[in-house]
Amino acid sequence: MAIRFMIAAVLFIPFVFFDFFKKNSLEIVGAGVVLGLINTGVYITQAIGLKTIGSAQAAFIVGSNIILIPFLAPLFKLNKLTKTDLIAPFVCLIGLLILTHFSLHFGVGELWCLLSALSVALSIVFLQFVTTHKAIHAFRLLVFYQLAFTAIVPGLLMPHGDIHHLLKLSVIIPILFCALFASNIALWVQAKYQSQVSATRAALIYALEPVFASVFALIINNELITRNVLIGGCVMLFGIGLHVWLENIRHLSIAPPAPSALTQPMQDE
Protein backbone atom coordinates (compact mmCIF):
# COMPACT_ATOMS: atom_id res chain seq x y z
CA MET A 1 0.00 0.00 0.00
CA ALA A 2 2.74 2.45 0.97
CA ILE A 3 4.76 1.90 -2.21
CA ARG A 4 1.65 1.79 -4.40
CA PHE A 5 0.40 5.19 -3.27
CA MET A 6 3.88 6.72 -3.16
CA ILE A 7 4.35 5.75 -6.81
CA ALA A 8 0.84 6.99 -7.64
CA ALA A 9 1.53 10.37 -6.01
CA VAL A 10 4.87 10.77 -7.83
CA LEU A 11 3.28 9.88 -11.19
CA PHE A 12 0.61 12.51 -10.54
CA ILE A 13 3.04 15.39 -9.86
CA PRO A 14 3.39 16.50 -13.54
CA PHE A 15 -0.40 16.94 -13.74
CA VAL A 16 -0.61 19.16 -10.63
CA PHE A 17 2.69 21.06 -10.82
CA PHE A 18 1.18 24.36 -11.98
CA ASP A 19 -1.91 23.89 -9.77
CA PHE A 20 0.36 24.11 -6.72
CA PHE A 21 0.91 27.80 -7.48
CA LYS A 22 -2.53 28.72 -8.86
CA LYS A 23 -5.19 26.73 -6.96
CA ASN A 24 -3.59 25.56 -3.72
CA SER A 25 -5.25 26.37 -0.39
CA LEU A 26 -5.41 25.09 3.17
CA GLU A 27 -8.98 23.94 2.56
CA ILE A 28 -7.87 21.67 -0.30
CA VAL A 29 -4.96 20.30 1.76
CA GLY A 30 -7.29 19.63 4.69
CA ALA A 31 -9.82 17.83 2.50
CA GLY A 32 -7.01 15.78 0.95
CA VAL A 33 -5.70 14.80 4.38
CA VAL A 34 -9.14 13.59 5.51
CA LEU A 35 -9.73 11.69 2.26
CA GLY A 36 -6.26 10.15 2.54
CA LEU A 37 -6.89 8.93 6.09
CA ILE A 38 -10.28 7.49 5.12
CA ASN A 39 -8.67 5.90 2.07
CA THR A 40 -6.08 4.32 4.35
CA GLY A 41 -8.87 2.69 6.32
CA VAL A 42 -10.49 1.41 3.12
CA TYR A 43 -7.40 -0.34 1.82
CA ILE A 44 -5.88 -1.61 5.07
CA THR A 45 -9.10 -3.23 6.28
CA GLN A 46 -9.78 -4.68 2.82
CA ALA A 47 -6.25 -6.10 2.51
CA ILE A 48 -6.48 -7.76 5.94
CA GLY A 49 -9.89 -9.19 5.08
CA LEU A 50 -8.61 -10.65 1.80
CA LYS A 51 -6.09 -12.76 3.73
CA THR A 52 -8.90 -15.01 4.98
CA ILE A 53 -11.78 -14.77 2.45
CA GLY A 54 -12.00 -14.82 -1.35
CA SER A 55 -11.95 -11.69 -3.49
CA ALA A 56 -15.49 -12.24 -4.85
CA GLN A 57 -16.97 -12.60 -1.36
CA ALA A 58 -14.95 -9.62 -0.10
CA ALA A 59 -16.11 -7.48 -3.02
CA PHE A 60 -19.78 -8.15 -2.29
CA ILE A 61 -19.34 -7.35 1.41
CA VAL A 62 -17.43 -4.14 0.66
CA GLY A 63 -20.07 -3.35 -1.95
CA SER A 64 -22.68 -3.27 0.80
CA ASN A 65 -21.48 0.27 1.56
CA ILE A 66 -24.55 1.39 -0.39
CA ILE A 67 -26.76 0.53 2.59
CA LEU A 68 -24.70 2.81 4.85
CA ILE A 69 -24.64 5.94 2.68
CA PRO A 70 -28.28 7.02 3.28
CA PHE A 71 -27.52 7.05 7.02
CA LEU A 72 -24.25 8.97 6.65
CA ALA A 73 -25.41 11.53 4.08
CA PRO A 74 -27.64 13.52 6.50
CA LEU A 75 -24.64 14.00 8.81
CA PHE A 76 -23.05 16.06 6.02
CA LYS A 77 -26.31 17.84 5.09
CA LEU A 78 -26.53 16.09 1.72
CA ASN A 79 -30.04 14.64 1.93
CA LYS A 80 -32.59 13.46 4.48
CA LEU A 81 -33.24 9.82 5.32
CA THR A 82 -36.43 8.55 3.66
CA LYS A 83 -38.52 5.40 3.97
CA THR A 84 -37.18 4.09 0.66
CA ASP A 85 -33.68 4.27 2.11
CA LEU A 86 -34.65 1.63 4.69
CA ILE A 87 -35.93 -0.98 2.22
CA ALA A 88 -32.72 -1.53 0.24
CA PRO A 89 -30.58 -2.05 3.37
CA PHE A 90 -32.96 -4.79 4.55
CA VAL A 91 -32.82 -6.60 1.20
CA CYS A 92 -29.04 -6.22 1.02
CA LEU A 93 -28.75 -7.59 4.56
CA ILE A 94 -30.60 -10.73 3.46
CA GLY A 95 -28.18 -11.08 0.55
CA LEU A 96 -25.24 -10.59 2.89
CA LEU A 97 -26.54 -13.35 5.17
CA ILE A 98 -26.90 -15.71 2.21
CA LEU A 99 -23.41 -14.81 1.03
CA THR A 100 -21.95 -15.62 4.44
CA HIS A 101 -23.85 -18.95 4.74
CA PHE A 102 -26.44 -17.50 7.16
CA SER A 103 -23.80 -17.21 9.86
CA LEU A 104 -24.75 -14.53 12.38
CA HIS A 105 -21.21 -14.75 13.72
CA PHE A 106 -19.05 -13.35 10.94
CA GLY A 107 -15.46 -14.47 10.69
CA VAL A 108 -12.55 -12.10 11.12
CA GLY A 109 -12.23 -11.59 7.36
CA GLU A 110 -15.89 -10.66 6.97
CA LEU A 111 -15.68 -8.17 9.84
CA TRP A 112 -12.62 -6.47 8.34
CA CYS A 113 -14.44 -6.17 5.01
CA LEU A 114 -17.47 -4.67 6.75
CA LEU A 115 -15.16 -2.03 8.25
CA SER A 116 -13.86 -1.43 4.74
CA ALA A 117 -17.45 -0.96 3.53
CA LEU A 118 -17.99 1.66 6.24
CA SER A 119 -14.81 3.45 5.18
CA VAL A 120 -15.86 3.40 1.51
CA ALA A 121 -19.27 4.86 2.38
CA LEU A 122 -17.62 7.59 4.43
CA SER A 123 -15.20 8.45 1.63
CA ILE A 124 -18.03 8.74 -0.93
CA VAL A 125 -20.13 10.96 1.32
CA PHE A 126 -17.20 13.17 2.34
CA LEU A 127 -16.06 13.60 -1.28
CA GLN A 128 -19.61 14.59 -2.20
CA PHE A 129 -19.59 17.10 0.66
CA VAL A 130 -16.31 18.82 -0.28
CA THR A 131 -17.09 18.99 -4.01
CA THR A 132 -20.65 20.34 -3.59
CA HIS A 133 -21.10 22.15 -0.27
CA LYS A 134 -17.47 23.28 -0.05
CA ALA A 135 -17.30 23.82 -3.83
CA ILE A 136 -13.75 22.47 -4.14
CA HIS A 137 -13.12 22.06 -7.87
CA ALA A 138 -9.33 21.68 -7.91
CA PHE A 139 -9.82 17.98 -8.51
CA ARG A 140 -6.24 17.17 -9.49
CA LEU A 141 -4.82 18.73 -6.32
CA LEU A 142 -7.45 16.99 -4.22
CA VAL A 143 -6.51 13.62 -5.71
CA PHE A 144 -2.76 14.28 -5.28
CA TYR A 145 -3.12 15.04 -1.57
CA GLN A 146 -5.42 12.04 -1.18
CA LEU A 147 -2.79 9.78 -2.78
CA ALA A 148 0.10 11.25 -0.80
CA PHE A 149 -1.58 11.06 2.60
CA THR A 150 -2.86 7.53 1.93
CA ALA A 151 0.77 6.39 1.73
CA ILE A 152 1.87 7.87 5.08
CA VAL A 153 0.26 5.50 7.62
CA PRO A 154 1.12 2.28 5.71
CA GLY A 155 4.65 3.64 5.26
CA LEU A 156 5.02 4.10 9.02
CA LEU A 157 3.65 0.61 9.70
CA MET A 158 5.66 -1.11 6.96
CA PRO A 159 8.19 -3.70 8.24
CA HIS A 160 11.25 -2.37 6.42
CA GLY A 161 13.14 -5.64 6.91
CA ASP A 162 10.80 -7.38 4.46
CA ILE A 163 11.22 -4.82 1.68
CA HIS A 164 13.17 -7.28 -0.48
CA HIS A 165 9.98 -9.28 -1.06
CA LEU A 166 8.62 -6.34 -3.06
CA LEU A 167 11.44 -6.52 -5.62
CA LYS A 168 9.94 -9.56 -7.34
CA LEU A 169 8.46 -8.95 -10.81
CA SER A 170 5.25 -10.71 -9.75
CA VAL A 171 4.81 -8.02 -7.07
CA ILE A 172 6.12 -4.97 -8.95
CA ILE A 173 3.70 -5.36 -11.89
CA PRO A 174 0.51 -5.43 -9.73
CA ILE A 175 1.79 -2.46 -7.69
CA LEU A 176 2.41 -0.40 -10.83
CA PHE A 177 -0.94 -1.47 -12.31
CA CYS A 178 -2.84 -0.49 -9.15
CA ALA A 179 -0.91 2.79 -8.83
CA LEU A 180 -1.75 3.89 -12.37
CA PHE A 181 -5.24 2.52 -13.00
CA ALA A 182 -6.87 1.78 -9.63
CA SER A 183 -5.38 4.86 -7.92
CA ASN A 184 -4.52 7.70 -10.30
CA ILE A 185 -7.12 7.29 -13.03
CA ALA A 186 -9.94 5.94 -10.86
CA LEU A 187 -9.62 8.54 -8.09
CA TRP A 188 -9.31 11.43 -10.55
CA VAL A 189 -12.43 10.37 -12.47
CA GLN A 190 -14.30 9.88 -9.19
CA ALA A 191 -13.29 13.29 -7.82
CA LYS A 192 -14.15 15.12 -11.05
CA TYR A 193 -17.50 13.56 -11.91
CA GLN A 194 -19.05 12.35 -8.64
CA SER A 195 -20.26 15.87 -7.84
CA GLN A 196 -22.57 15.65 -10.87
CA VAL A 197 -24.68 12.92 -9.23
CA SER A 198 -25.95 12.29 -5.71
CA ALA A 199 -23.89 10.33 -3.20
CA THR A 200 -26.45 7.52 -3.19
CA ARG A 201 -26.55 7.31 -6.98
CA ALA A 202 -22.74 7.29 -7.11
CA ALA A 203 -22.66 4.42 -4.64
CA LEU A 204 -25.18 2.51 -6.76
CA ILE A 205 -22.84 2.80 -9.73
CA TYR A 206 -19.85 1.74 -7.64
CA ALA A 207 -21.91 -1.22 -6.43
CA LEU A 208 -21.26 -2.86 -9.81
CA GLU A 209 -17.72 -3.50 -8.54
CA PRO A 210 -18.62 -6.89 -6.99
CA VAL A 211 -19.97 -8.07 -10.33
CA PHE A 212 -16.69 -7.28 -12.06
CA ALA A 213 -14.71 -8.66 -9.10
CA SER A 214 -16.51 -12.01 -9.33
CA VAL A 215 -15.78 -12.27 -13.06
CA PHE A 216 -12.11 -11.32 -12.70
CA ALA A 217 -11.74 -13.58 -9.64
CA LEU A 218 -12.79 -16.45 -11.87
CA ILE A 219 -10.61 -15.41 -14.83
CA ILE A 220 -7.43 -14.31 -13.00
CA ASN A 221 -7.46 -16.18 -9.68
CA ASN A 222 -9.44 -19.25 -10.77
CA GLU A 223 -11.80 -18.69 -7.85
CA LEU A 224 -15.00 -20.64 -8.23
CA ILE A 225 -18.16 -18.59 -7.74
CA THR A 226 -20.04 -20.61 -5.12
CA ARG A 227 -23.81 -20.86 -5.02
CA ASN A 228 -24.01 -18.75 -1.87
CA VAL A 229 -21.86 -16.00 -3.40
CA LEU A 230 -23.94 -16.04 -6.59
CA ILE A 231 -27.35 -16.03 -4.88
CA GLY A 232 -26.34 -13.63 -2.11
CA GLY A 233 -24.69 -11.27 -4.59
CA CYS A 234 -27.77 -11.29 -6.84
CA VAL A 235 -30.03 -10.51 -3.86
CA MET A 236 -27.78 -7.60 -2.89
CA LEU A 237 -27.82 -6.25 -6.45
CA PHE A 238 -31.61 -6.67 -6.49
CA GLY A 239 -31.82 -4.57 -3.33
CA ILE A 240 -29.70 -1.88 -4.95
CA GLY A 241 -31.83 -1.91 -8.10
CA LEU A 242 -34.97 -1.77 -5.96
CA HIS A 243 -33.61 1.32 -4.26
CA VAL A 244 -33.12 3.04 -7.63
CA TRP A 245 -36.65 2.13 -8.75
CA LEU A 246 -38.27 3.36 -5.52
CA GLU A 247 -36.26 6.58 -5.65
CA ASN A 248 -37.40 7.25 -9.22
CA ILE A 249 -41.02 6.67 -8.19
CA ARG A 250 -40.61 9.03 -5.23
CA HIS A 251 -39.10 11.78 -7.38
CA LEU A 252 -41.90 11.42 -9.95
CA SER A 253 -44.55 11.65 -7.24
CA ILE A 254 -43.20 14.92 -5.84
CA ALA A 255 -42.31 16.51 -9.18
CA PRO A 256 -44.74 19.19 -10.37
CA PRO A 257 -46.93 18.06 -13.26
CA ALA A 258 -45.95 19.27 -16.69
CA PRO A 259 -48.39 21.76 -18.19
CA SER A 260 -50.71 20.11 -20.67
CA ALA A 261 -51.59 21.49 -24.07
CA LEU A 262 -55.16 22.19 -22.89
CA THR A 263 -54.06 24.42 -20.03
CA GLN A 264 -51.51 26.42 -22.01
CA PRO A 265 -52.64 29.84 -23.27
CA MET A 266 -53.48 30.12 -26.93
CA GLN A 267 -50.97 31.96 -29.07
CA ASP A 268 -51.69 33.94 -32.20
CA GLU A 269 -50.58 32.21 -35.36
* pLDDT tens-digit map of 43-55: 999 999 988 888 7
Q: Considering only CA atoms, which of 79, 62, 38, 35 is closest in space to residue 199?
A: 79
The closest alpha carbon to 86, from 67, 73, 114, belongs to 67
User: pLDDT value at position 100?
Assistant: 65
**Residue pLDDT, tens place only, 56-114:** 778 778 877 877 887 888 888 777 777 776 777 778 778 777 876 665 557 888 899 99
Highest mean pLDDT among 23-32, 89-98, 130-139, 216-225: 23-32
* pLDDT at position 267: 46
Q: Is the pTM of this model over 0.85?
A: no
| Exposed/middle/buried for residue 267 (C-beta within 10 Å: 0-12, 13-18, 19+) | exposed
Q: What are phi and psi of 121, to 5 degrees?
A: -60, -40
Average pLDDT, the chain: 81
For residue 66, which of 26, 38, 95 has the smallest C-alpha distance? 95
